[in-house]
Structure 1
Amino acid sequence: MRLTVSHSTRYRYDPPVRNVTQSLKLSASRFAGQQVLNWHITAEGATIGSPFVDGFGDTVFTLTASGPLDSLEVLVTGTVTTQDHAGVLKGHREKASPQVFLRATAATRADEAILALAQKVKADNAQASQLDIAHALSQAVSDAVRYAPGSTHAHTSAAEALAEGQGVCQDHTQVLIAMARSVGLPARYVSGYLFADADGVPHEAAHAWAEIYIDTLGWVGFDCANRCCPTEYYIRLGSGLDARDAAPIRGIHSGGSEEQLDVSVVVKQSQQ
């Protein structure tokens, strides 16, 4: 499938800020299931330095801008071709050991409820393979956390989301990561875009899902929000230990106090 992306992130500052520095994980990944035909990241009035590839295999740019600035827009446009590999991440170059992704963060720390649910799934699948256990964990999260836009916020932890029994793709992903790690399976957060869900129904274009490391396959994606593994409808950007670590844009500014954020993401299928 050939997909095009237009992603605008606009910041408004009141009063104006003196300086802005951002880390951008906004480049489409390169692997067997995703070929990048063209990809551009721009920000008028800012400087975007040369990229580097981090240990997770993700391309990272650094943006800097000097003020006074009352607004800043980061614009991503690009085209990729995608293929369905049943969620298996083939041919992605990275240096970090999968064992790195057994480490918990504040957002993915397993409390008693997460541990209990994960252990129940593992006990119910005592003779199952790692892959089957991963699928069962994903199913359990889908059943336990109802998709409810606006019910949580950016800083909601996995434990809080499970306790509330509702959330969005970020919450599904962090609960699954916490559960997987608690039973010894490395797991990580992936940010990206989604053209449509598994039934072809239009979906919120900015998306997130988990990848779990399976000894016989490597990294395999699981999308609890849509009860599936990533397909050709998905565009992968980058990964991290949790939502904050994998965020497409992270940054700081000096001066000013109020910041307003507007995000627009459009993913379309295009002709050859």
Structure 2
Amino acid sequence: MRIAIDHRTLYRFSKPQARIIQLLRLTPCDTQDQTVVSWMVGVDCDARLRESHDGFGNKVTMLYADGPIESLEISVTGEVLTNRTSGVVHGSSEPLAPIVYLRPTPRTTAGDGLPDFATESISGARDPLDCMHRLNAALHKRFPCAPDAPDTGVTAAEAFMAGKATSRDVAQMFIAAARSLEVPARYVSGYRIDDTTHIAPHAWAEACVEGLGWVGFDPVTGLSPDDSYVRVAVGLDAAGAASIAGTRIGHGKEELDVDLNVDRVSGEE
């Protein structure tokens, strides 16, 4: 499938900022499952952009802008060709061993409820892959409507107990639950074609399954990602794979608007 993405993030400041430094995880990598046809990251002010890779193998862009800055718009436009792979990830950059993704983080704290939930979910599973599919389906059943939404900093355990979650929250729940079962798991940020209004990138998870390697699981749908997904960045949790992270020097408040369109290119199969 050929997917077109237009992602614009606008920051408005109540007082001019002296300097802004941001790390952008907004550029997907080529794998055997997806090919970046075209991609451009733009900024509407005088800024320096430096591209590199982080420790997880993600493409990153460092943004440096000197003030006074009253507003800042970051735009991403591009097209990506994707293949249907039943969720199995092929040819991705893997600088870290899977065991690293057993490492707990504050955002993926399992608490008291998730480990028991995970154990109950996989009861009767035939093999490791079936275990992860059962866990994915169980989270989808418990949280059938998990929209894409801005990050609020909620932990997996807090969202699980609250009974209300976003795609980011259920992805972190899957990660926390899988790790409680001693299965390496990681957070994925990217894009997905669906019929909803997007106000944030989509989130899902990947687990390292014996005999297959990394396999994607999306608790929002209860299924594995297909060719309607564009995989952009991975990390230990939502904070580690955030699309935009950084700091600003200056006083005042900040307002954020996101305009995101993910569409299939007409006439492409």
**Normalised by the size of structure 2, how large is the TM-score?**
0.93
Matching of residue 5 in structure 1 with residue 10 in structure 2: no
In 2, Cα distance between equivalents of 1:46 and 1:190: 31
Q: CA deviation at 1:119?
A: 2.1
Cα distance between partner residues in 2 of 1:7 and 1:227 = 26
Asked if 1:145 corresponds to 2:143, the answer is yes
Task: Answer yes or no: is 1:110 the counterpart of 2:105.
Answer: no
| 2:89 aligned residue | 89
- Partner of residue 173, structure 1: 171
C-alpha separation between the residues in 2 aligned to 1:152 and 1:17?
23
Q: CA RMSD in A?
A: 1.8
Q: Which of 166, 184, 187 in structure 1 is aligned with 2:182?
A: 184
Superposed displacement of residue 85, structure 1: 0.4
CA distance in 1, matches of 2:230, 2:127: 28
Structure 2 counterparts to residues 14-163 of structure 1, below 5 A: 14-122=14-122, 124-125=123-124, 128-147=126-145, 149=147, 154-163=152-161
AA at the equivalent of 1:136: R
Query: Against the structure 1 CA distance between its residues 221 and 39, is the aligned structure 2 distance closer, same or farther, given a 3 Å change threshold?
Result: same
How many Å separate the matches in 2 of 1:153 and 1:253? 18
Distance 1:193 1:150 in 2: 10
* Superposition deviation, residue 50 in structure 1: 3.0
Secondary structure at the aligned position of 1:159 is classed as: helix
Give the gaps of 5 or more residues in structure 2. Answer: none
8 Å CA contact 1:144–1:162 kept in 2: the answer is no
Matched, 1:263 2:258: yes
Q: Does 1:225 align with 2:223?
A: no
Partners of 2:233 and 2:149 lie apart in 1 by 25
Q: Which secondary structure state, in structure 2, belongs to the residue aligned with residue 257 of structure 1?
A: coil
Residue 214 (1) aligns with residue 212 (2): no
CA distance in 2, matches of 1:98, 1:159: 23
Report the TM-score when normalising by structure 1: 0.92
CA distance in 1, matches of 2:121, 2:165: 21
Alignment match of 1:244 (pick from 220, 234, 239): 239
CA deviation vs aligned residue, 1:106-158 (integer Å, no higher than 9, x gap) = 11111111111112234x13x62111111111112112234255999621111
Unaligned runs of 5+ in 1: none
Confirm or deny: 8 A CA contact 2:167 2:204 kept in the other structure. yes
Size of the aligned set, in residue pairs, is: 266
Tell me the secondary structure at the aligned position of residue 110 of structure 1: coil
CA pair 119-46 structure 1, distance change in 2 beyond 3 A: farther
> Hey, what's the Cα distance between the residues in 1 that align with 2:146 and 2:53?
35
State percent identity of aligned pairs: 37
